[in-house]
């Protein structure tokens, strides 16, 4: 095998002790942005901790799958694994982000069209059901599998080797390269991605739907229409009762006026 360049990190460096420590620190810092996002939500719309956990855990499962897939793909060749990991990560943050957005939109349209209420992202029932969370996790993981498959096919296009040399070829220290690849760049990009994806899959309070006992979705506009009909019918009944009372009152007055009057003369 041809020797690795002096500037590149060695084989297995991503899963070494230092690499694993950087990955654990990255996970802690990246997911802290989701907690910060929760506290940034208005108090009237802030998610309970259980709903927040259901929403963010889907991203955690997807991010772990993407991360370990990138680590596996980076060690498949004799090239610098740090450079390969960075290329995978950049593609995930650009083209992959677009694929995730399209996947969420398509899946959301399908489950709403099929009226699979508990598979709508962010809807878990009242009280929240773990079965709905599991189903949504499976759907989101399938989106991640689709995204990573497309990115892997894109990596088969020739020409990525030159990009590897451009990205990290000027860094002489392998540990510094590992810090940049496994912590610094992923922390910034993951924080943005987690924030955006959480906004995609969380429950939208401006278009908040409620679940009735039968599990169907009742939109706010429908509820307002129904309430207005009830109020209108109540007003109509009230007006009709008043008109009935007025008519009955007029009839009584007419009857009193039509009754003969007798005058007693002494």
* CA neighbor of 194 nearest in space, from 25, 33, 27: 33
**131-180 per-position pLDDT tens digit:** 999 999 999 999 999 999 999 999 888 777 677 666 666 777 777 878 88
**178-212 per-position pLDDT tens digit:** 888 888 888 888 888 888 888 888 876 544 444 44
Phi, psi of 11 (to 5 degrees): -65, 135
> What pTM value is reported for the model?
0.67
Residues 6 or more apart whose Cβ sits within 8 Å of residue 153: none
Paired residues of 218 in beta bridges: 210
**Cβ proximity of 149 and 103 under 8 Å:** no
Which residue shows structure tokens 């929240």?
Answer: 128
């Amino acid at each position: 095998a041809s020797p690795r360049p002096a500037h590149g990190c060695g084989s297995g460096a991503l899963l070494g002790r230092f690499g694993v420590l950087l990955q654990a620190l990255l996970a802690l810092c990246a997911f802290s942005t989701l907690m910060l996002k929760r506290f940034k939500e208005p108090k009237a719309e802030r998610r309970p901790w259980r709903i927040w956990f259901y929403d963010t855990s889907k991203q955690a499962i997807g991010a772990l799958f993407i991360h370990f897939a990138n680590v596996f793909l980076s060690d498949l060749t004799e090239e610098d694994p740090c450079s390969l990991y960075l290329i995978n990560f950049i593609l995930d943050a650009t083209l992959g982000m677009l694929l995730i957005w399209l996947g969420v939109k398509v899946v959301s349209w399908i489950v709403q069209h099929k009226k699979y209420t508990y598979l709508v992202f962010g809807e878990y029932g009242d009280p929240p059901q773990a079965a709905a969370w599991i189903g949504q996790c499976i759907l989101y993981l399938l989106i991640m599998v689709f995204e990573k498959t497309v990115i892997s096919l894109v990596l088969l296009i020739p020409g990525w080797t030159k990009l590897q040399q451009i990205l990290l070829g000027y860094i002489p220290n392998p540990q510094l390269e590992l810090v940049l690849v496994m912590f610094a760049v992923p922390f910034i990009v993951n924080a943005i991605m987690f924030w955006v994806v959480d906004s995609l899959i969380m429950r939208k309070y401006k278009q908040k739907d409620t679940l009735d006992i039968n599990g169907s979705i009742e939109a706010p506009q429908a509820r307002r229409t129904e309430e207005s009909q009830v109020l209108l019918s109540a007003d109509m009944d009230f007006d009709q009762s008043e008109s009935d009372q007025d008519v009955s009152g007029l009839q009584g007055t007419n009857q009193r006026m039509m009754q003969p009057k007798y005058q007693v003369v002494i």
